[in-house]
Amino acid sequence: MQPPDLSNAYALNGAEDCQRLYADWAQSYDTDFAAGMDYRLPAETAAAFLRAGPLAGPVLDVGAGTGLLAAALRAMGHEGAIDALDLSDAMLAQAGSKGLYRRLTKADVTQPLPMSGYTGIVSSGTFTHGHVGPEALPNLIAAALPGAVFALSINAAVWDDLGFDPAFRALGTITDLDRSEVAIYGQAAQARDPAHATDTALIVTFRKS
Ligand SMILES: C[S@@+](CC[C@H](N)C(=O)[O-])C[C@H]1O[C@@H](n2cnc3c(N)ncnc32)[C@H](O)[C@@H]1O
């Protein structure tokens, strides 16, 4: 059986669908998808987070998947505690096997979260087609301490369609909002999946006031 691909992932419809797809994808996600597509978004998001000047303290990785964003943060010298939140047991199991996270929590980010007290909140690849939209933003704000730094990747194609602009304006409680557009994949993606090879994401950084 072929492992799932981006087209399957972008067509997800709801939490059960998501858990089913990632149960099939978790084992091969790093070696097949991330390596095969030269998946750059976790490293781009980690770099944007560190540039935004995070405070010392725990960081929450939202839709942590197999832990690629935490691995990128560690590779860039970030030493503080990182907690993983994800809807998929299978993806969390992969993340846990890498020993990068202080805590792994299965939770749906579109619902009020069972955790709080973070000085940093990061996310790569989770605000996208078929996954999570701006309805999750108030839950993330509630989990953060005042002054916390956020770095969230948002697939550029869903920014307008899902209404991220008005959602950020409605939050009210944020400062220093900035965004930059980055390539999600590298050169290898051209041969592997030409339909998605040039997809871009907006990396949004801001602080909770
Ligand atoms: C494309 S993967 C990205 C994983 C990782 N951040 C990366 O960049 O490789 C998206 C992840 O979001 C998780 N996810 C999707 N919907 C979610 C939700 N409502 N709450 C929490 N996690 C969710 C999926 O289980 C999956 O692990």
Which residue, judged by its Cα, is nearest atom 14 of ligand 1?
63
In a domain, 28, yes or no: yes
Q: What is the pLDDT of residue 12?
A: 76
Q: Give the other-Cβ count within 10 Å of 126's Cβ.
A: 22
What is the CATH number for 181?
3.40.50.150
From ligand 1's centre to the CA of 153, what distance in Å?
12
pLDDT in tens, 138-147: 999 999 999 9
Which residues face 85 on adjacent strands?
62, 105
Asked if the structure places residue 25 within a domain, the reply is yes
**Short-list 140, 108, 153, CA closest to 208:** 140
Residue 84 in any domain: the answer is yes
Total domains present in the chain: 1
Residue type, 7: S
As for ligand 1, residues whose beta carbon falls within 6 Å of it are 18, 22, 41-42, 63-65, 68-69, 86-88, 91, 108-110, 124-126, 131-132
In a domain, 95, yes or no: yes
What is the Å distance from ligand 1's center to 118 Cα?
Answer: 19
Write out residues in the chain with pLDDT < 70, as ranges.
1-2
Report the candidate in 176, 181, 184 with the shortest Cα–Cα distance to residue 206. 176
Judge whether 193 lies within some domain: yes
Residue 1 lies in a domain: no
Classify residue 113: in a domain, yes or no: yes
166 domain-assigned: yes
pLDDT of residue 16: 86
Cβ distance 154 to 202 under 8 Å?
yes
The pLDDT of residue 130 is: 86
> What's residue 3's pLDDT?
75
What's the confidence (pLDDT) of residue 4? 82
**Distance from C-alpha of 172 to C-alpha of 191, rounded to nearest angstrom:** 43
Residue 199 region, left (φ>0) first, then alpha (ψ -120 to 50), else beta? Answer: beta
Q: Which residue type sits at 103?
A: R
pLDDT digits (tens, 9 = 90+) for 146-196: 999 999 999 999 999 999 999 999 998 899 999 999 999 999 999 999 999
Query: What is the secondary structure of 147-183 as a DSSP string?
Result: EEEEEEEEEHHHHTTTTHHHHHHHH-SEEEEEEEEEE
The residue range of the domain holding 72 is 6-208
Question: How many Å apart are CA 11 and CA 6, to the nearest integer?
Answer: 8
